Amino acid sequence: MIYLDYAAATPLSEKAKRAMLPYFDEKFFNPSAAYLPATETRREYEQAKADIAHVIGAKAADLVMTSGATEANSLVFASVPDDAEVLISAIEHPSILENAKQKNYKTISVDESGRINLDDLRAKITPNTQLISICLASSELGTIQPLSDIARIVVEERTRRAFAGEKTPIYFHSDASQGLGLMEVKVSRLGVDLLTINAAKVYGPKGIGALYIGHNVRLKPQTHGGGQELGLRSGTENVPATIAFATAIMEAEKHLAGERKRLADLRAKFKKLLSEKIDGIEFLGKEKTQLANFMPISIPGLDAERLIFALEEHEVYVSTGAACAASKGEKSPTLKAIGLNDMQIAGSLRITLGRPTGIDDVEKAADAIAQVVTNECARLAK
């Protein structure tokens, strides 16, 4: 099997798996209980939160653990008044877009590579804007956004409001799920008030994520009960998954620079092979501002869904874009936003490399993709 959809899901690392196993049996205790074994589990849980927070330049007290990125994003938007204005980019993940649709929202345009238009952002901020949510990196293109530049615009608006005596707050949130483990992610350098991270993208378990909450931010609890997680997410803590998340994120951080270079080199080889084998192939996005493992492509005139099914027969697995959008059979809003026409969108594939990907995988996948494209072109020519 040659799996090339690491933007959708990563396998659980062996270290993370080993780290979490004891918490299913010998250390199974509820961390809220008062007896000694439970307090030891509590201590280890809090240490895991501290380890996760340290990777993003925060403290354990700044984190609320969630069931994943979608819940973390929903917690942010649920805390914004219904009549408040929110701004999002035109290429956000469905977990941002669908939440934004519940509010008074506007979308910020992007260029042909998916980078946000800062002038458009400035123009669309109004005195009623309370939340700006821009992903760190696109889940379809891998395009990295200039968050520190966006943060400066938010600070300018916050300062203007302070001098004008306006009381309406404005917060800056980013879903960093896709970029985590592939680039340095530090909340102070990014300038965000809120940051979403997700274990499932960094070789941790699915079903666990976290939301960083800056000291100036007040959110509304969506789950009521025992008051866990700063009172924002009541319920018994998912200790095994949190322990595994901490192990996975620290492992990714340790090897970040070397893995990023390895992936970039593999991608360059992959691009060269596909360019030689397939006429008319288009590579989407710009490498300079793209995550090292992303290689979205388009082969205009072909049907990407047919290509995916054909590639599956070769045991090569890719996707048409973000799994959430692809599962609905919808045309990608992201690809529309960067100006692709219907033929380009129909023929687009998202290829993402991962830790297990090697040169043999790239060479075999390139051969398989070229063969499938040749067969499809021949079928259409009949």
Do both 270 and 222 map to the same domain?
no
- Residue of 9, 38, 153, 324 with catalytic role: 324
- Residue identified by tokens 């340290």 is 54
Catalytic, 324? Answer yes
205 and 299 share one domain: no
- Which of 254, 284, 304 marks a domain boundary? 254
Question: Which residue, 124, 145, 94, 95, is CA-closest to 285?
Answer: 145
Same domain, 150 and 49: yes
What are residue 201's DSSP bridge partners?
none
User: Crossing angle of helices 359-381/304-313, nearest 10°?
Assistant: 120
Does pLDDT of 80 surpass 80?
Answer: yes
Q: Residue 92 is part of which domain span?
A: 14-254
In a 3-state reduction of DSSP, which class is residue 146? coil
What letter represents residue 90's amino acid?
A
Q: What is the largest CA-CA distance in the chain?
A: 75
Instruction: Kindly report the CATH number assigned to the domain that includes residue 137.
Output: 3.40.640.10
The confidence band for 230, taking pLDDT boundaries of 50, 70 and 90, is confident
Q: Using CB atoms within 10 A of its CB, is residue 378 exposed (0-12), middle (13-18) or buried (19+)?
A: exposed
Same domain, 266 and 343: yes
How confident is the model over 311-336, as a mean pLDDT? 77
Q: In this structure, are 243 and 263 located in the same domain?
A: no
Mean confidence (pLDDT) of the chain: 93
- The average pLDDT across 267-281 equals 96
Q: Which two tokens stand for residue 24?
A: 């299913």
194 plus 334 within the same structural domain:
no
Q: Which residue, of 193, 220, 254, is where some domain finishes?
A: 254
pTM for the predicted model, two decimal places: 0.94
**Number of residues assigned to the chain:** 382
Give the DSSP letter of residue 230: G
Same domain, 61 and 193: yes
CATH at 272: 3.90.1150.10
pLDDT band at 359 (very low <50, low <70, confident <90, very high): very high
Instruction: Check residue 283 and give its pLDDT.
Output: 96
Q: Are residues 130 and 277 in the same domain?
A: no
Asked if the model's pLDDT at residue 234 lies above 80, the reply is: no
Same domain, 138 and 27: yes
Tokens of 16: 């993370």
Same domain, 70 and 186: yes
In this structure, the answer to whether residues 151 and 267 fall within a common structural domain is no
Of 231, 254, 277, the domain-final residue: 254
- Number of domains the chain is built from: 2
- Token pair recorded at residue 148: 């520190």
**Nearest residue to 212 via CA among 314, 64, 57:** 64
